[in-house]
Amino acid sequence: MQPLPAMKALLTILFLVLLLVTGLSAFQHLHAQAAGRISYEATRRIDPSQLRVVINGQELRPGSPDFPADIPDVRTFAQTLSFAGDYAKETQEGGGMMIRTTVDGPGGPGGPGGGRAPQTTNLGRPFEETTYLNLKDRTAATVLAVKKDDKTTEYRADAPIAKTEGWQLTEQTRKIAGYTCRKATVPFRKETYTVWVTTELPFTYSPIRELTPDKGVVLAVEGANEQFRASKVDLKAAVAEAEVRPGAQAQKVSPEELKDLRDKARADFRQRAMESFGGRN
């Protein structure tokens, strides 16, 4: 029979080993569960400087007396975050360049003489843009795919996720997509944003990168010019890590160069659209 102190020491060692194994198993299970998708519904006010209206071959700017009063100033789109482990990918649906054409008769649109109401055509996007995130290192890789003729070229720019200071966390809570969130306010873009953060998900993220908290996932953002709200969190979606990491084929450029490429692709796309539809206004 072993002495009592030796038995206590052995039991203590066994307990510590069991605790370590249990903790490791729980950590591995949590990490394995850190995969899925979050769907956001978003609205953003359109920058008036990006609007182009051409009537009878003449370009009109916002504020012009002849500028149409029924042009929408807000766009709605869906944003999805797919995540697996320490990596994630953002994609957007909706948007695109809109062309509105009108054929006027003697009585005006819809009147006698062949006129009809304006018709709107979505021409799609001048490029495809995807953002890949390293959630652990808090870095973002933006990949821009620009198609010209039958060739598509990809460009990639890497940048750290900037941190906005001045967060004020409150005790107010709200359920969003089934998760308890705490309200925070943050000074950002010359106004105060309201941000709802949950710590019930095992990573850190925000649909507006500059509003990424120290810890937690932002499920809703409310600003004067833009809003995001999570409509669904799906932890059962099968997301492989390879799906949310950027490929190696993209040409690496600086963030400034990527902005220039984006602006040029947008301008070229707009010019081609005006040339195609200009004679129909």
Q: Give just the sign of the alpha carbon dihedral 244, 245, 249, 250.
A: positive
Return the pLDDT at 77: 92
Identify the burial level of 69 via C-beta atoms within 10 angstroms of its C-beta, where 0-12 means exposed, 13-18 middle and 19 or more buried.
exposed
Residue 111 belongs to some domain of the structure: yes
Residue 64 belongs to some domain of the structure: yes
Residue 103 belongs to some domain of the structure: yes
Return the pLDDT at 105: 53
Return the pLDDT at 94: 67
Return the pLDDT at 66: 74
Residue 44 belongs to some domain of the structure: yes
Residue 30 belongs to some domain of the structure: no
Number of folded domains that form the chain: 1
Return the pLDDT at 169: 97
Domain that residue 102 falls in: 38-280
Residue 240 belongs to some domain of the structure: yes
Residue 121 belongs to some domain of the structure: yes
Return the pLDDT at 15: 41
DSSP letters, 11-46, are HHHHHHHHHHHHHHHHHHHHHHH-EEEEEEEEEEEP
| pLDDT tens series, the chain, 281 aa | 455 555 555 444 444 434 343 343 433 434 445 899 999 999 998 776 666 666 666 677 777 777 777 777 788 999 999 999 999 999 998 655 555 555 555 555 545 555 566 666 555 677 899 999 999 999 999 999 998 878 899 999 999 999 999 999 999 999 999 999 999 999 999 999 999 999 999 999 999 999 999 999 999 999 999 999 999 999 999 999 999 999 889 999 999 999 999 999 988 887 777 776 655 54
Residue 19 belongs to some domain of the structure: no
**Which conformational region is residue 133 in: left (phi greater than 0), alpha (psi within -120 to 50 degrees), or beta?**
beta
